[in-house]
Amino acid sequence: MIVARRFLISGEVQGVGYRFFAQRAAARHQVTGYVRNLPDGRVEVWAEGTPSGIEGLKKDLATGPKLAVVEKVEEEAVEPTGQYTTFLIER
């Protein structure tokens, strides 16, 4: 079963390698989708994968890379699109 989630990560998460960290974490958990910076300073992650893969990614997103300070991870259940074959960094 494939599920999808949209995560919004708040805190000091831009300019600290967060998107690259998220991409590596998604690969580790075999999750597809994308990560991108938002104009308001948050990071958005769209993730599709198994429930256990999504849960593992969520835990990693809450930790973030060494220089990040993650204050909040918002999670929204969304419908999987199936359009992603990898996990992309969008600009």
- pLDDT per residue as tens digits for the range 12-33: 999 999 999 999 999 999 999 9
SS3 annotation, 7-40: EEEEEECCCCCHHHHHHHHHHHCCCEEEEEECCC
Residue 45 neighbours by CB under 8 Å, 6+ apart: 5, 6, 7, 9, 22, 33, 34, 35, 57, 61
What mean pLDDT is predicted for residues 77-87?
Answer: 96
**pTM for this entry:** 0.96
What does the alpha-carbon distance between residue 49 and residue 31 come to, in Å, rounded to a whole number? 5
Q: Based on the residue annotation, tell me whether 19 is a catalytic residue of this protein.
A: yes
For the chain, the average pLDDT equals: 97
The catalytic residue among 6, 37, 42, 91 is 37
Note the pLDDT of residue 91. Answer: 83
Q: Based on the residue annotation, tell me whether 37 is a catalytic residue of this protein.
A: yes
